[in-house]
Amino acid sequence: MEKIRMTTPLVEMDGDEMTRILWKMIKDELILPFVELNTEYYDLGLPHRDETGDQVTMDAALANKKYGVAVKCATITPNAQRVEEYKLHEMWKSPNGTIRAVLDGTVFRAPIMIDSIKPAVRSWKKPITIARHAYGDVYKCSEIRVPGAGTAELRFTDAAGNTTTRKIFEFTDCGGILQGQYNKDDSIANFARSCFNYALDAKQDLWFGAKDTISKQYDHTFKDIFQEIYDAEYKAKFEAAGISYFYSLIDDIVARVIRSEGGFIWACKNYDGDVMSDMVSTAFGSLAMMTSVLVSPDGKYEYEAAHGTVTRHYYRWLKGEATSTNPVATIFAWSGALRKRGELDGLAALAAFGDKLEAATLQTLNDGIMTKDLCGLAEGITPTAVDSEGFIKAIRARLEQLLAA
Ligand code: NAP
Ligand code: MG
């Protein structure tokens, strides 16, 4: 069979530990035999980040900006223990943070669903994708522990020296706590555009909730910016695609999410997204079945798995044990990136390959062949537990059939 051709290079970011082992298995078994793979390769493995003074991460992020689509392996974010373990020159910053800063994007997390793993919420039939605004609010706030009686004020001084002051609270009988938060119009607008673009791509409705009734300036501004951008730039496109944008109070949205069938994108302010993404991913089953894509407001994409480098499995693998690490989210990072590259370059065969790789993976799981982490979650079937290699080989057999058909 002739291999599927590519034109524009895909930016490939290799990573660390167990996911680096899976990365090579996935490429060797599921991609290279079928695709004339054209990638620009960046090794974001921690030893190479250290050798290059982390320049390789910046280079990879800029390549992502230039070519538009990247696929990334999980990487170690160093802490003190890793500095010791890898004899690092510095405690390098999180690669994901660096890439996010360059692309100024929003992270979308979506669960991969299979028949035998039922969501904890009975009504959920389709995936719920969470989009978290990863900028500002409580994550960049300033706080004061108030020791006793006194006056708290909020003051803004503009460039010309004019001030606006609001009294927050008069502490009289005892002390308390104070917090100042901010966000920026352009960051909120970028967040909104990333969400609207993603919804159009996925052909799914977009929901957004904030507390605008209580927070008449702060949260109301989020609501207003979303609405202005929707009306001016996206309304017609949404109507043509048959999807909708829906805003409501955050508490109403939470109640509707639980009653829903799923199948939509839920845009969340920073804190809401932090909390709700953990709730939604747990309710759908497993972190190993969660994909993640960073989307910039000007339409650049970086695909990855939501989980980390699975260190505990790697240490067992180093001792020569076969591990049953789940490669599904990493396979879906590859399929998502190849499909997007195919769509952008008008290569129907490449886009179709992404679909077939996903179909072969789901078929393997639905046939009951799964890694150990899923066996305990599966209902209504008798699963066969396999190691990572056996699982990937089982997917390959099904992929070959789908490609031959
Ligand atoms: P983790 O790698 O996600 O693993 C935590 C645990 O979850 C594992 O020990 C394993 O449980 C289970 N698990 C996660 N993914 C799995 C998979 N694919 N298959 C089977 N089980 C899976 O999180 P971590 O141990 O907290 O972090 C390890 C390293 O990853 C850290 O250095 C961190 O900096 C990095 N990290 C990177 C990213 C990223 O690049 N996006 C994200 C998060 C963390 P059992 O051991 O019980 O089987
Ligand atoms: Mg969280």
Domains of the chain are 1-113+299-405 (3.40.718.10), 118-135+183-284 (3.90.190), 142-180 (no CATH)
Residue-wise pLDDT tens digits, 125-134: 999 999 999 8
Task: From the CA of 82, give the closest atom in ligand 1.
Answer: 32
Q: Provide the 3-class DSSP secondary structure of residue 114.
A: coil
| Least distant ligand from the CA of 139 | 2
| Beta strand residue intervals within 181-338, DSSP E | 205-210, 245-249, 264-268, 290-295, 301-305
Q: Between vectors from CA 260 to CA 262 and to CA 210, what angle results, nearest 5°? A: 90
Q: Provide the 3-class DSSP secondary structure of residue 302.
A: strand
Query: How many CA atoms does the CB half-sphere of 242 hold within 13 Å?
Result: 1
In which element (H, E) is residue 336 found? helix 328-345
pTM of the model: 0.90
User: What is the residue whose two structure tokens read 């996935």?
Assistant: 26
Distance of CA 95 to the CA centre of its chain: 14
What residues are paired with 305 via a beta bridge?
A: 291
Q: Provide the sign of the torsion angle of the four alpha carbons 226, 227, 231, 232, taken in this order.
A: negative
| Beta strand residue intervals within 213-342, DSSP E | 245-249, 264-268, 290-295, 301-305
For 150: left if phi > 0, alpha if psi spans -120 to 50, otherwise beta; the answer is left
What's the CA gap between 201 and 340, in Å, rounded? 10
Task: From the CA of 305, give the closest atom in ligand 1.
Answer: 41
Give the model's pLDDT for residue 373.
92
Q: How sure is the predictor about 45, in pLDDT bands with cuts at 50, 70 and 90?
A: very high
Q: Ligand 1 within 6 A of 57 CB?
A: no
Residue 357 carries which DSSP code? H
pLDDT at 199 over 90: yes
Give the model's pLDDT for residue 176.
97
Q: Ligand 1 within 6 A of 43 CB?
A: no
Q: Ligand 1 within 6 A of 311 CB?
A: yes
Residue-wise pLDDT tens digits, 245-264: 999 999 999 999 999 999 99
Query: How many CA atoms does the CB half-sphere of 294 hold within 13 Å?
Result: 24
Q: How far apart are the first and last CA of the chain?
A: 12
Contact assessment for residue 310 and residue 17, using Cβ atoms and an 8 Å cutoff: yes
Q: Ligand 1 within 6 A of 390 CB?
A: no
Residue-wise pLDDT tens digits, 266-300: 999 999 998 998 899 889 988 899 999 999 988 89
Contact assessment for residue 295 and residue 106, using Cβ atoms and an 8 Å cutoff: yes
- Find the farthest-apart pair of alpha carbons in the chain and give their distance in angstroms, rounded: 81
Distance of CA 80 to the CA centre of its chain: 26
For 242: left if phi > 0, alpha if psi spans -120 to 50, otherwise beta; the answer is left
pLDDT at 112 over 80: yes
Q: How large is the angle between the packed helices 55-67 and 95-103, nearest 10 degrees?
A: 40
What is the dihedral angle through the alpha carbons of 337, 338, 342, 347, rounded to the nearest 10 degrees?
180
Summarize the confidence of residues 20-36 as an average pLDDT: 98
Of 46-55, 213-222, 275-284, 338-347, the least confident: 275-284
In angstroms, what CA-CA distances link 398 with 69, 193, 288, 358, 395? 27, 38, 21, 11, 5
Percentage of the chain exceeding pLDDT 70? 100
283 CA to centre of ligand 2 in angstroms = 14
